[in-house]
Amino acid sequence: MIQISFILNGKKVKLETDENRRLIDILREDFSLTGTKEGCSIGECGACTIIMNKLAVNSCLVLAGQLIDSEILTIEGVSENGKLNVLQENFLKYGAVQCGYCTPGMIMSIYALLLKNNNPADEEIKEAIAGNLCRCTGYKQIIDAARATADTDMITDLSQ
């Protein structure tokens, strides 16, 4: 067992856990943050994407020992004061949400991109979501939602 502390959605948290537990399990079981979905469990589908230290990562591949002093942002942390973020609103507006299973991971991948570059080209958006699989939308609506959000100054770095 190890004692870890890290920032989760803007709040410092501490946890005693097995060092080999996966982040996705910690989020869902210890913090009841069930917006992060588990798909393939091997880092191939992107359903479990979160932002760790400002980078989009698959939470099924992150072990508890890697969390020490890190900064984690989940889909629950993207909303602002209980209100959907503009990216989330644009996912609804542009029909980028169908079955919804990939949606949290897609949003987190695009959010991470927009934190680095608030006006990406379509190719950069496609590259950012290349690790996220969607079986429903065909990706056009997702790219449209990302493009509509780009350059709006509405993506906030919640870690500051």
Q: How many CB atoms lie within 10 A of CB 62?
A: 22
pLDDT value at residue 95: 93
Residue 157, pLDDT > 60, answer no
pLDDT value at residue 156: 55
Written as six digits, the tokens of 113 are 């991109």
pLDDT value at residue 80: 81
Average pLDDT of the segment spanning 124-141: 92
Task: Indicate the pairing of strand 2-8 with strand 71-73.
Answer: parallel
Q: Please tell me the pTM assigned to this model.
A: 0.92
| Paired residues of 22 in beta bridges | 63
Average pLDDT of the segment spanning 98-122: 94
Written as six digits, the tokens of 67 are 């969390």
Written as six digits, the tokens of 118 are 């608030």
Delineate the domains of the chain, giving CATH numbers in brackets: 2-75 (3.10.20.30), 86-149 (1.10.150.120)
Residue 151, pLDDT > 80, answer no
Average pLDDT of the segment spanning 78-107: 92
Average pLDDT, the chain: 92
Tens digits of residue pLDDT in 6-18: 999 999 999 999 9
Distance CA 46, CA 39 (A): 8
Q: What DSSP string runs through 86-131? A: HHHHHHHHTT--SS-SSHHHHHHHHHHHHHH-SS--HHHHHHHTTT
pLDDT band, very low/low/confident/very high, at 155 (cuts 50, 70, 90): low
